[in-house]
Protein backbone atom coordinates (compact mmCIF):
# COMPACT_ATOMS: atom_id res chain seq x y z
CA UNK A 1 0.00 0.00 0.00
CA UNK A 2 1.37 3.40 -1.03
CA UNK A 3 0.33 6.10 1.45
CA UNK A 4 0.26 9.73 0.25
CA UNK A 5 0.50 11.94 3.31
CA UNK A 6 -2.06 14.73 3.55
CA UNK A 7 -0.96 17.20 6.23
CA UNK A 8 -2.88 20.26 5.06
CA UNK A 9 -0.62 22.07 2.56
CA UNK A 10 -0.24 19.66 -0.30
CA UNK A 11 -1.91 18.44 -3.45
CA UNK A 12 -2.34 14.84 -2.36
CA UNK A 13 -5.36 14.10 -4.58
CA UNK A 14 -3.53 14.74 -7.86
CA UNK A 15 -0.61 12.57 -6.71
CA UNK A 16 -3.05 9.79 -5.77
CA UNK A 17 -4.66 9.96 -9.22
CA UNK A 18 -1.29 9.58 -10.95
CA UNK A 19 -0.34 6.59 -8.78
CA UNK A 20 -3.69 4.98 -9.60
CA UNK A 21 -3.07 5.66 -13.28
CA UNK A 22 0.18 3.66 -13.20
CA UNK A 23 -1.44 0.76 -11.32
CA UNK A 24 -0.39 1.50 -7.75
CA UNK A 25 -2.45 0.51 -4.70
CA UNK A 26 -2.75 3.87 -2.93
CA UNK A 27 -4.59 5.72 -0.17
CA UNK A 28 -4.41 9.16 1.43
CA UNK A 29 -2.94 9.20 4.92
CA UNK A 30 -4.47 11.90 7.12
CA UNK A 31 -3.16 10.61 10.46
CA UNK A 32 0.08 8.89 11.55
CA UNK A 33 -1.69 5.56 12.12
CA UNK A 34 -2.34 5.37 8.37
CA UNK A 35 1.37 4.71 7.87
CA UNK A 36 1.12 1.39 9.72
CA UNK A 37 0.12 -0.39 6.50
CA UNK A 38 2.44 1.57 4.21
CA UNK A 39 4.91 -0.22 1.95
CA UNK A 40 5.84 3.10 0.34
CA UNK A 41 5.26 6.73 1.35
CA UNK A 42 4.82 9.88 -0.73
CA UNK A 43 5.26 13.27 0.95
CA UNK A 44 4.00 16.02 -1.38
CA UNK A 45 3.92 19.66 -0.40
CA UNK A 46 3.52 23.28 -1.47
CA UNK A 47 4.14 26.40 0.57
CA UNK A 48 6.39 27.51 3.42
CA UNK A 49 9.01 25.25 5.05
CA UNK A 50 8.23 26.21 8.66
CA UNK A 51 4.49 25.81 8.13
CA UNK A 52 5.05 22.37 6.63
CA UNK A 53 7.20 21.24 9.56
CA UNK A 54 4.77 22.73 12.06
CA UNK A 55 1.92 20.70 10.58
CA UNK A 56 3.98 17.50 10.43
CA UNK A 57 5.13 17.95 14.04
CA UNK A 58 1.72 18.82 15.46
CA UNK A 59 -0.01 15.96 13.65
CA UNK A 60 2.55 13.41 14.82
CA UNK A 61 3.60 12.59 11.26
CA UNK A 62 7.22 13.66 11.81
CA UNK A 63 8.08 10.82 14.20
CA UNK A 64 6.00 8.29 12.28
CA UNK A 65 7.77 9.13 9.02
CA UNK A 66 11.17 8.76 10.68
CA UNK A 67 10.18 5.40 12.17
CA UNK A 68 8.99 4.10 8.80
CA UNK A 69 11.94 5.39 6.79
CA UNK A 70 14.84 4.84 9.19
CA UNK A 71 13.80 1.70 11.08
CA UNK A 72 11.43 -0.08 8.69
CA UNK A 73 13.37 1.08 5.60
CA UNK A 74 10.18 1.95 3.75
CA UNK A 75 10.84 3.91 0.53
CA UNK A 76 9.72 7.55 0.67
CA UNK A 77 9.36 10.09 -2.13
CA UNK A 78 9.31 13.80 -1.27
CA UNK A 79 7.82 16.11 -3.89
CA UNK A 80 8.61 19.86 -4.07
CA UNK A 81 8.25 21.14 -0.47
CA UNK A 82 8.12 17.49 0.57
CA UNK A 83 11.65 17.02 -0.80
CA UNK A 84 12.83 20.03 1.21
CA UNK A 85 11.19 18.82 4.42
CA UNK A 86 13.26 15.63 4.23
CA UNK A 87 16.38 17.80 4.70
CA UNK A 88 17.99 19.21 7.84
CA UNK A 89 17.12 22.91 7.60
CA UNK A 90 16.02 25.71 5.28
CA UNK A 91 16.79 29.38 4.75
CA UNK A 92 13.02 29.81 4.47
CA UNK A 93 12.51 29.31 8.20
CA UNK A 94 13.92 28.47 11.60
CA UNK A 95 12.47 25.01 12.23
CA UNK A 96 14.52 21.87 11.84
CA UNK A 97 13.56 19.60 8.98
CA UNK A 98 13.01 15.86 9.26
CA UNK A 99 16.77 15.39 8.89
CA UNK A 100 16.47 12.21 6.83
CA UNK A 101 18.90 13.55 4.21
CA UNK A 102 22.12 15.43 4.88
CA UNK A 103 21.21 18.59 2.98
CA UNK A 104 20.14 22.20 3.44
CA UNK A 105 17.58 24.27 1.55
CA UNK A 106 18.72 27.56 0.01
CA UNK A 107 17.05 30.44 -1.82
CA UNK A 108 17.36 30.54 -5.61
CA UNK A 109 17.96 34.29 -5.55
CA UNK A 110 21.76 34.46 -5.89
CA UNK A 111 24.12 36.30 -8.26
CA UNK A 112 23.71 33.73 -11.04
CA UNK A 113 19.96 34.39 -11.24
CA UNK A 114 19.70 38.15 -10.83
CA UNK A 115 18.12 38.52 -14.27
CA UNK A 116 15.74 35.59 -13.84
CA UNK A 117 12.27 35.46 -12.36
CA UNK A 118 11.89 33.91 -8.92
CA UNK A 119 10.04 31.63 -8.35
CA UNK A 120 11.35 29.30 -11.01
CA UNK A 121 8.09 28.35 -12.67
CA UNK A 122 7.41 26.23 -15.74
CA UNK A 123 8.98 23.43 -17.74
CA UNK A 124 12.68 22.62 -17.48
CA UNK A 125 14.97 19.73 -18.26
CA UNK A 126 17.04 17.35 -16.15
CA UNK A 127 20.65 16.27 -16.40
CA UNK A 128 20.81 12.79 -14.85
CA UNK A 129 24.04 12.64 -12.83
CA UNK A 130 24.10 8.98 -11.77
CA UNK A 131 22.22 5.73 -12.21
CA UNK A 132 19.18 5.50 -9.97
CA UNK A 133 15.82 3.71 -9.68
CA UNK A 134 13.66 6.75 -10.55
CA UNK A 135 15.11 8.42 -13.63
CA UNK A 136 16.53 6.82 -16.74
CA UNK A 137 19.68 8.30 -18.24
CA UNK A 138 17.87 8.57 -21.55
CA UNK A 139 19.27 10.50 -24.52
CA UNK A 140 15.79 11.94 -25.00
CA UNK A 141 15.31 15.30 -23.27
CA UNK A 142 13.25 14.85 -20.11
CA UNK A 143 11.07 17.81 -19.16
CA UNK A 144 9.36 18.35 -15.82
CA UNK A 145 7.20 21.11 -14.32
CA UNK A 146 8.73 23.27 -11.57
CA UNK A 147 7.29 25.85 -9.16
CA UNK A 148 9.74 26.84 -6.41
CA UNK A 149 11.85 29.63 -4.91
CA UNK A 150 14.16 27.39 -2.85
CA UNK A 151 16.34 24.43 -3.78
CA UNK A 152 18.11 21.58 -2.01
CA UNK A 153 21.89 21.54 -1.62
CA UNK A 154 23.05 18.06 -0.49
CA UNK A 155 26.13 18.01 1.73
CA UNK A 156 27.51 15.13 -0.36
CA UNK A 157 27.40 15.54 -4.13
CA UNK A 158 26.76 11.84 -4.72
CA UNK A 159 23.29 12.19 -3.17
CA UNK A 160 22.20 14.22 -6.21
CA UNK A 161 20.78 12.10 -9.05
CA UNK A 162 19.67 14.96 -11.33
CA UNK A 163 20.50 18.61 -11.86
CA UNK A 164 18.60 21.40 -13.57
CA UNK A 165 19.95 24.61 -15.08
CA UNK A 166 18.29 27.86 -14.03
CA UNK A 167 20.95 30.55 -14.15
CA UNK A 168 23.24 27.98 -12.54
CA UNK A 169 22.68 24.30 -11.82
CA UNK A 170 20.85 23.08 -8.75
CA UNK A 171 20.01 19.59 -7.48
CA UNK A 172 16.52 18.76 -8.75
CA UNK A 173 16.41 15.15 -7.49
CA UNK A 174 18.24 13.16 -4.82
CA UNK A 175 18.47 9.60 -3.58
CA UNK A 176 19.90 8.26 -0.33
CA UNK A 177 19.18 4.54 0.13
CA UNK A 178 15.37 4.28 0.43
CA UNK A 179 14.89 8.09 0.43
CA UNK A 180 14.02 9.96 -2.77
CA UNK A 181 13.23 13.61 -3.43
CA UNK A 182 12.26 15.60 -6.52
CA UNK A 183 11.96 19.38 -6.68
CA UNK A 184 9.60 19.27 -9.67
CA UNK A 185 6.00 18.04 -9.79
CA UNK A 186 5.71 14.58 -11.39
CA UNK A 187 1.92 14.79 -11.15
CA UNK A 188 2.01 17.83 -13.50
CA UNK A 189 4.70 16.52 -15.84
CA UNK A 190 2.71 14.33 -18.23
CA UNK A 191 4.50 11.27 -19.64
CA UNK A 192 7.80 11.94 -17.90
CA UNK A 193 6.04 12.25 -14.56
CA UNK A 194 4.06 9.10 -15.28
CA UNK A 195 7.29 7.22 -16.03
CA UNK A 196 8.91 8.41 -12.80
CA UNK A 197 5.92 7.52 -10.66
CA UNK A 198 5.63 4.09 -12.26
CA UNK A 199 9.27 3.44 -11.36
CA UNK A 200 8.65 4.50 -7.75
CA UNK A 201 5.58 2.24 -7.53
CA UNK A 202 7.68 -0.69 -8.76
CA UNK A 203 10.72 -0.17 -6.49
- Which tens digits make up the pLDDT trace of 123-174? 999 999 999 999 987 777 889 999 999 999 999 999 999 999 998 999 999 9
Q: Is 187 a catalytic residue?
A: yes
Question: How does pLDDT run across 38-79, given as a tens digit for each residue?
Answer: 999 999 998 999 999 999 999 999 999 999 999 999 999 999
pLDDT, one tens digit per residue, over 77-87 is: 999 999 999 99
Domain parsing of the chain, residue ranges: 2-201
Q: What is the crossing angle of helices 12-21 and 190-201, to 10°?
A: 80
- CATH 3.40.50.880 given to domain 2-201: yes
Q: How many CB atoms lie within 10 A of CB 120?
A: 22
The model's pTM is 0.95
Helices (H), the chain: 12-21, 49-59, 61-66, 81-85, 190-201
Among 104, 148, 160, 187, which one carries the catalytic annotation?
A: 187
Residues in the chain: 203
Instruction: Give the 3-state DSSP-derived string for 56-113, with helices as H, strands as E and coil as C.
Output: HHHHCHHHHHHHHHHHCCCCEEEECHHHHHCCCEECCCCCCCCCCCCEEEEECCCHHH
Catalytic residue among 37, 68, 80, 136: 80
Is position 67 annotated as part of the catalytic site?
no
- 171 flagged as catalytic: no
Amino acid sequence: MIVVIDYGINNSSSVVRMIQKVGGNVKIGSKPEDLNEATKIVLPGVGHFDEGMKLLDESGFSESIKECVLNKKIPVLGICLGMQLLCECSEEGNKKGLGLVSAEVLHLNDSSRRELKIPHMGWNTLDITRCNPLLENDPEEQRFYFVHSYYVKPNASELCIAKTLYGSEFCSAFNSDNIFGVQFHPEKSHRFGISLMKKFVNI
